[in-house]
């Protein structure tokens, strides 16, 4: 039957066939009975068919009922399963009337786990809206309405406040469930707890932010480290503090500031602006700092305490910032004093002019670090200068001829210069660091005699004191200046001067004696000649007159010697160089001396036949020879021979005067050519003299280009020798002559004349 119901054409055909089968026999059969029988048969068949159909229909209905029950059962089972499934899902399934979350149809029990509300509580109208986090409420409501309007699913993440006040992050996937005709049935939301994910996200965001912050702070730190390193590098380069500090200021404005200013005090006095640097380019021209440090900077310098504006911990109080850098409109300022070794050197000021950039504790620490470095650079430059000045002073002391001794307040030797070493023969290494009284013999007595002046007064009193040294007694002219740290002594070696003075004193005594003796003789002779009561014969008169002449000559000689010595000393002596025959001169001198030589003295000449001409002042050579010969006679009280000679030594003519007299002790020999020096000033053995003769000889010979010396003879007495250059013409001739003709080659003793 169902096939007919579902196939109407087939049912129509079957109806037509059935109608034809029923109608056709009635057409064919003409007999009434037959027709009645047929009709009865058809009715029976129809009744049978109807009975069969009714039975089948009942069976079908029963079948359907069973099936329906089955389906319902299954549906219930499916719903139970669905419910179980929904309840086991990790989300809240929430069904409500279409478009109305206040009319809950169903909510799965998970709602309690997420929000603490039982499904029944959650079904209360208005709870959803109330539970929405205030920050999310507006947004979520707008989005729900928008989705409803556009008939699109709603999907969003937001926060719900649970029963206990806890905040739960959820993801809401909502849609309107529709039937087969597309008609809305109800609204359905799957509310998923995304708290964990959110926490992870938040944690990740936090970590990312922290990482970014760490990177930024590392970069910042790196920049700061770079700045510190660069500043340290610049500070170590140059010792020109102004240049260095300007460069540092320029480095600072690259990273840390729009303006950087450094003020330095000159030797603890007033602050001076040393460096001003500005970041490039500042955009607007803006104002500039003053030429001299502002009052606020001075205040920081004087207080020794840094200042930050706005003050650390205060967010916006930039009061006072404008007082730091003149007309610069600073928003934030750090001003830090520069100090080193407890000494205030100045201040560094950095400023930012852009809004929103304010200095913090880190910046203050950095500026303090830079301030330390600048202070050290500046201090180092100053120390270097000081050291250089001291080194200069030390160099001066090293080269000064005066001995210098520096004693500290406890009497310890701190400085002992090379001149002091030289004068006293005490090495600096043996004395510096020791007490002067221990290291310098007789220091206590010396110190007692030296008056300590407190100023370096050129007229300060200098005392002459003796000091015992390894080389014997030395005389020091010493003066002292007292100062804060101790005492400075300056001393000169006046041993020689003193000696000369002694010699001078001796000379005056000797010279007076030398002058007085002939004067007395002249005076006595003249008196005798003038006496009327006393008649003198011719011979007697002659004796007195010649005595007067001799003594006058002696007087004249002494006076001449003194005058000549003076001339030599003053450099006022003219020499006339002209070649002369040395042998002839020697002969003449001997000849002249012989006439008044005392008895017991024999004079001889030792000279070759020919000696080349000597280039010198003949008169002065004569004077030297006479002096030596007279000395030879004078210092031969027991008589003996005096040999005067000349010969050739290379390009020199060598003169010699040899005697057999007293001789000269070896230690005296180097000194006898000194002015006023006499071996026996008390004249215990020898005749008188001025001590000028040999001094004059030495001066004359060396001015004529020669040298003079004394040698002891093997047996007795001494030999005085001096050499003078032979004339150029002679030298040329000499070099052209054969060797045997030269004076040196034919040196021979000639018999005494
Ligand atoms: P003086 O006027 O005393 O002779 P000199 O300068 O001529 O001065 O001599 C210096 C000293 O040298 C003398 O005092 C003497 O002691 C010593 N002297 C000089 N010539 C001789 C000599 N030929 N023999 C020994 N001593 C001499």
Instruction: Summarize pLDDT for 461-511 with one digit per residue, the tens.
Output: 788 999 988 888 889 999 998 887 789 999 999 988 888 888 777 777 777
- Is pLDDT of 196 > 90? no
Residue of 624, 678, 682 to mutate, ligand 1, most atoms within 8 A of C-beta: 678
Ligand 1 binding pocket includes 681 (Cβ within 6 Å): no
pLDDT score for 605: 95
Specify the residue with its C-alpha closest to ligand 1, atom 14.
678
> Which pLDDT band, with edges at 50, 70 and 90, does 739 fall under?
very low
pLDDT score for 435: 94
> Which pLDDT band, with edges at 50, 70 and 90, does 316 fall under?
low
470 CB neighbour count, 10 Å cutoff: 8
Q: Which of 350, 369, 481, 467 is nearest to 420 (CA)?
A: 467
pLDDT in tens, 524-566: 888 888 887 777 788 888 888 988 998 898 888 888 888 888 8
> Average pLDDT for residues 308-321, to the nearest whole number?
75
Residue of 676, 688, 689 to mutate, ligand 1, most atoms within 8 A of C-beta: 689
Q: SS3 for 384?
A: helix
pLDDT in tens, 218-264: 888 888 888 888 888 887 766 566 788 888 888 888 778 888 999 98
Ligand 1 binding pocket includes 326 (Cβ within 6 Å): no
Q: Which atom of ligand 1 is nearest to the CA of 661?
A: 24
* Domain 91-193 falls under CATH 3.30.450.20: yes
230 CB neighbour count, 10 Å cutoff: 16
Q: Which atom of ligand 1 is nearest to the CA of 688?
A: 3
CA–CA dist 210, 511 (Å, integer):
109
CA–CA dist 164, 335 (Å, integer):
54
* Strand-strand pairing, 463-469 and 486-493: unpaired
Q: Which of 265, 237, 275, 250 is nearest to 384 (CA)?
A: 237
Alpha carbon separation from 135 to 160, 161, 170 (Å, rounded):
10, 11, 14
Q: How far is the CA of 501 from the centre of ligand 1 (A)?
A: 19
pLDDT score for 132: 95
Residue of 632, 635, 667, 669 to mutate, ligand 1, most atoms within 8 A of C-beta: 635
Tokens 């002494």, located at residue: 558
Ligand 1 binding pocket includes 79 (Cβ within 6 Å): no
Residue of 691, 713, 718, 722 to mutate, ligand 1, most atoms within 8 A of C-beta: 691
Q: Domain 218-385 adopts which CATH fold?
A: Beta-Lactamase (3.30.450)
- Is pLDDT of 573 > 90? no
pLDDT score for 744: 40
577 burial via Cβ count (<10 Å: 0-12, 13-18, 19+) = middle
With beta carbons less than 8 A apart as the criterion, state whether 635 and 651 touch.
Answer: no
Q: How far is the CA of 643 from the centre of ligand 1 (A)?
A: 17
% of the chain surpassing 90 pLDDT:
40
Q: Which of 707, 673, 712, 669 is nearest to 693 (CA)?
A: 673
> Which pLDDT band, with edges at 50, 70 and 90, does 289 fall under?
confident
Specify the residue with its C-alpha closest to ligand 1, atom 13.
678
- Comparing 266 with 723, the larger pLDDT belongs to 723
- DSSP-assigned letters across all residues of 514-528: HHHHHHHHHHHHHHH
pLDDT in tens, 678-697: 887 665 555 667 888 999 99
pLDDT score for 613: 93
> Which pLDDT band, with edges at 50, 70 and 90, does 748 fall under?
very low
Ligand 1 binding pocket includes 289 (Cβ within 6 Å): no
Specify the residue with its C-alpha closest to ligand 1, atom 21.
631
> Which pLDDT band, with edges at 50, 70 and 90, does 443 fall under?
very high
pLDDT score for 60: 92
* Phi/psi of residue 708, nearest 5 degrees: -135, 145
Supply the pTM of this predicted model: 0.44
Q: How far is the CA of 682 from the centre of ligand 1 (A)?
A: 13
Residue of 623, 631, 660, 673 to mutate, ligand 1, most atoms within 8 A of C-beta: 631
Q: How far is the CA of 259 from the centre of ligand 1 (A)?
A: 88
Alpha carbon separation from 331 to 259, 310, 328, 359 (Å, rounded):
11, 8, 9, 9
Ligand 1 binding pocket includes 693 (Cβ within 6 Å): yes
For 98, residues 6+ apart whose C-beta sits below 8 A from its C-beta are 176, 184, 185, 186, 187
- Is pLDDT of 5 > 80? no
With beta carbons less than 8 A apart as the criterion, state whether 256 and 276 touch.
Answer: no
Q: Which of 89, 78, 85, 81 is nearest to 190 (CA)?
A: 89
Token readout for 277 is 């640097």
> Average pLDDT for residues 415-441, to the nearest whole number?
92
Ligand 1 binding pocket includes 718 (Cβ within 6 Å): yes
Ligand 1 binding pocket includes 691 (Cβ within 6 Å): yes
Alpha-helical regions (H) of 571-692 = 582-596, 618-634
pLDDT score for 628: 96
Residues 708-723 as b or e (16 or more Cβ within 10 Å = b): bebeeeeeebbbbbbb
Residue of 558, 664, 701 to mutate, ligand 1, most atoms within 8 A of C-beta: 664
CA–CA dist 507, 678 (Å, integer):
9
Q: Which atom of ligand 1 is nearest to the CA of 695?
A: 6
CA–CA dist 681, 688 (Å, integer):
8
Token readout for 49 is 């068919």
* Strand-strand pairing, 472-483 and 452-453: parallel
Q: How far is the CA of 232 from the centre of ligand 1 (A)?
A: 77
% of the chain surpassing 70 pLDDT:
90
- Is pLDDT of 352 > 60? yes
pLDDT score for 268: 57
**Helix (H) or strand (E) segment spanning residue 698:** helix 693-703
Q: Which atom of ligand 1 is nearest to the CA of 689?
A: 2
Q: How far is the CA of 725 from the centre of ligand 1 (A)?
A: 25
pLDDT score for 315: 67
- Is pLDDT of 746 > 50? no
Ligand 1 binding pocket includes 743 (Cβ within 6 Å): no
Q: How far is the CA of 703 from the centre of ligand 1 (A)?
A: 21
Q: Is the peptide bond before 310 cis (omega within 30 degrees of 0)?
A: yes
CA–CA dist 440, 448 (Å, integer):
14
- Is pLDDT of 317 > 80? no
Alpha-helical regions (H) of 537-678 = 538-570, 582-596, 618-634
Per CATH, the homologous superfamily of domain 400-493 is PAS domain (3.30.450.20)
Q: How far is the CA of 557 from the centre of ligand 1 (A)?
A: 16
Q: How far apart are the first and last CA of the chain?
A: 200
Ligand 1 binding pocket includes 632 (Cβ within 6 Å): yes
Here the contacts of 69-76 (C-beta below 8 Å, separation 24 or greater) are none
Alpha-helical regions (H) of 238-315 = 241-255, 295-303
- Comparing 566 with 403, the larger pLDDT belongs to 403
- Average pLDDT score over the chain: 85
Ligand 1 binding pocket includes 662 (Cβ within 6 Å): yes
Ligand 1 binding pocket includes 661 (Cβ within 6 Å): yes
Q: How far is the CA of 691 from the centre of ligand 1 (A)?
A: 7
Ligand 1 binding pocket includes 660 (Cβ within 6 Å): no
Q: SS3 for 116?
A: coil
CATH class of the structural domain 499-563? mainly alpha
Q: What is the DSSP letter of 322?
A: G
Ligand 1 binding pocket includes 629 (Cβ within 6 Å): no
CA dihedral sign of residues 351, 353, 354, 356: positive
pLDDT in tens, 41-77: 888 888 898 889 999 999 999 999 999 999 999 989 9
Residue of 674, 679, 680 to mutate, ligand 1, most atoms within 8 A of C-beta: 679
Ligand 1 binding pocket includes 678 (Cβ within 6 Å): yes
pLDDT score for 720: 97
* Phi/psi of residue 357, nearest 5 degrees: -105, 100
Which strand ranges, in their side-by-side order, compose the sheet holding 92-97?
A: 100-107, 92-97, 184-193, 167-178, 154-161
> Which pLDDT band, with edges at 50, 70 and 90, does 749 fall under?
very low
Tokens 């008895």, located at residue: 599
Specify the residue with its C-alpha closest to ligand 1, atom 17.
679
653 CB neighbour count, 10 Å cutoff: 29
Alpha carbon separation from 307 to 99, 124, 254, 261, 296 (Å, rounded):
65, 63, 21, 14, 9
Q: How far is the CA of 694 from the centre of ligand 1 (A)?
A: 7
- DSSP-assigned letters across all residues of 17-41: HHHHHHHHHHHH---HHHHHHHHHH
Tokens 């300007």, located at residue: 246
Ligand 1 binding pocket includes 659 (Cβ within 6 Å): yes
CA–CA dist 138, 144 (Å, integer):
10
For 319, residues 6+ apart whose C-beta sits below 8 A from its C-beta are 309, 310
CATH code of the domain occupying 574-748: 3.30.565.10
666 CB neighbour count, 10 Å cutoff: 8
Q: What is the DSSP letter of 637?
A: T
Q: Which of 505, 521, 515, 500 is nearest to 688 (CA)?
A: 515
* Strand-strand pairing, 486-493 and 403-408: antiparallel
pLDDT score for 615: 92
Q: SS3 for 43?
A: helix
pLDDT score for 28: 72
Q: Which of 273, 339, 264 is nearest to 305 (CA)?
A: 339
- Is pLDDT of 205 > 60? yes
pLDDT in tens, 362-401: 889 989 988 888 888 778 777 888 888 888 888 888 888 8
Residues 79-98 as b or e (16 or more Cβ within 10 Å = b): eeeeeeebeeeebbbbbbee
> Average pLDDT for residues 707-718, to the nearest whole number?
94
- Is pLDDT of 657 > 90? yes
């Amino acid at each position: 039957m169902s096939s007919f119901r579902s196939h109407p054409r087939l049912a129509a055909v079957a109806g037509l066939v059935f109608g034809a089968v029923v109608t056709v026999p009635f057409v064919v059969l003409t007999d009434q009975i037959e027709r009645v029988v047929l009709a009865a048969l058809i009715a029976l068949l129809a009744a049978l068919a109807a009975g069969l159909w009714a039975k089948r229909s009942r069976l079908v209905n029963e079948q359907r009922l069973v099936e329906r029950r089955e389906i319902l059962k299954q549906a219930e089972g499916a719903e139970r399963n669905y419910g179980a499934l929904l309840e086991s899902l990790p989300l809240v399934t929430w069904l409500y009337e279409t478009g109305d979350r206040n009319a809950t149809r169903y909510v799965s029990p998970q709602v309690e786990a997420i929000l603490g509300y039982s499904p029944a509580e959650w079904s209360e109208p208005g709870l959803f809206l109330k539970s929405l986090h205030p920050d999310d409420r507006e947004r979520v409501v707008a989005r729900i309405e928008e989705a409803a309007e556009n008939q699109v699913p709603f999907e969003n993440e937001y926060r719900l406040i649970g029963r206990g006040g806890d905040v739960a992050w959820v993801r809401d996937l909502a849609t309107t469930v529709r039937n087969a005709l597309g008609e809305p049935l109800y609204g359905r939301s799957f509310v998923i707890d995304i708290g964990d994910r959110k926490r992870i996200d938040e944690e990740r965001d936090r970590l990312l932010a922290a990482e970014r912050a760490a990177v930024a702070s590392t970069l910042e730190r790196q920049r700061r480290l770079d700045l510190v390193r660069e500043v340290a590098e610049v500070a170590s380069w140059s010792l020109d503090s102004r240049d260095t500090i300007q460069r540092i200021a320029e480095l600072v404005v690259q990273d840390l500031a729009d303006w950087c200013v450094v003020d330095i005090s000159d030797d603890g006095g007033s602050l001076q602006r040393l460096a001003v640097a500005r970041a490039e380019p500042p955009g607007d021209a803006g104002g500039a700092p003053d030429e001299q440090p502002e009052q606020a900077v001075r205040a920081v310098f004087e207080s020794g305490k840094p200042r930050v504006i706005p003050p650390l911990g205060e967010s916006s109080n930039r009061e006072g910032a404008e007082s730091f850098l003149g007309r610069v409109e600073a928003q934030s300022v750090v001003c830090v004093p520069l100090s080193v070794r407890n000494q205030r050197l100045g201040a560094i000021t950095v400023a930012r002019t852009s809004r929103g950039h304010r200095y913090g504790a880190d910046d203050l620490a950095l500026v303090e670090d830079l301030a330390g470095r600048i202070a050290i650079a500046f201090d180092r430059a100053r120390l270097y200068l000081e050291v250089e000045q001291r080194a200069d002073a030390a160099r001066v002391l090293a080269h000064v001829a005066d001995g210098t001794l520096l004693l500290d307040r406890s009497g310890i030797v701190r400085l002992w210069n090379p001149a002091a070493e030289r004068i006293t023969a005490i090495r600096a290494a043996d004395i510096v660091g020791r007490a002067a009284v221990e290291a310098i013999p007789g220091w206590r007595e010396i110190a007692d005699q030296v008056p300590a002046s407190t100023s370096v007064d050129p007229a300060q009193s200098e005392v002459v004191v003796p000091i015992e040294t390894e080389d014997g007694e030395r005389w020091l002219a010493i003066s002292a200046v007292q100062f804060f740290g101790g005492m400075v002594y300056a001393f000169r070696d006046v041993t020689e001067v003193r000696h000369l003075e002694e010699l001078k004193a001796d000379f005056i005594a000797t010279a007076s004696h030398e002058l007085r003796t002939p004067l007395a003789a002249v005076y006595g002779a003249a008196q005798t000649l003038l006496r009327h009561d006393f008649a003198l014969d011719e011979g007697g008169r002659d004796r007195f007159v010649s005595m007067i002449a001799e003594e006058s000559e002696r007087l004249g000689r002494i006076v001449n010697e003194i005058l000549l010595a003076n001339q030599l000393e003053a450099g006022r002596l003219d020499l006339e160089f002209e070649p002369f025959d040395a042998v002839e001169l020697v002969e003449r001198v001997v000849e002249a001396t012989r006439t008044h030589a005392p008895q017991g003295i024999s004079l001889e000449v030792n000279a070759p036949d020919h000696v080349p001409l000597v280039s010198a002042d003949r008169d002065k050579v004569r004077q030297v020879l006479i002096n030596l010969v007279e000395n030879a006679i004078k210092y031969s009280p027991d008589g003996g021979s005096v040999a005067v000679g000349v010969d050739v030594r290379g390009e020199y003519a060598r003169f010699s005067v040899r005697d057999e007299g007293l001789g000269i002790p070896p230690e005296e020999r180097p000194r006898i050519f000194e002015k006023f020096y006499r071996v026996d000033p008390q004249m215990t053995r020898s005749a008188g003299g001025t001590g000028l003769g040999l001094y004059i000889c030495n001066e004359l010979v060396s001015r004529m280009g020669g040298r003079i010396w004394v040698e002891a003879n093997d047996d007795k007495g001494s030999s005085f020798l001096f050499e003078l250059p032979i004339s150029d013409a002679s030298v040329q001739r000499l070099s052209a002559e054969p060797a045997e003709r030269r004076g040196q080659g034919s040196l021979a003793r000639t018999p005494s004349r």
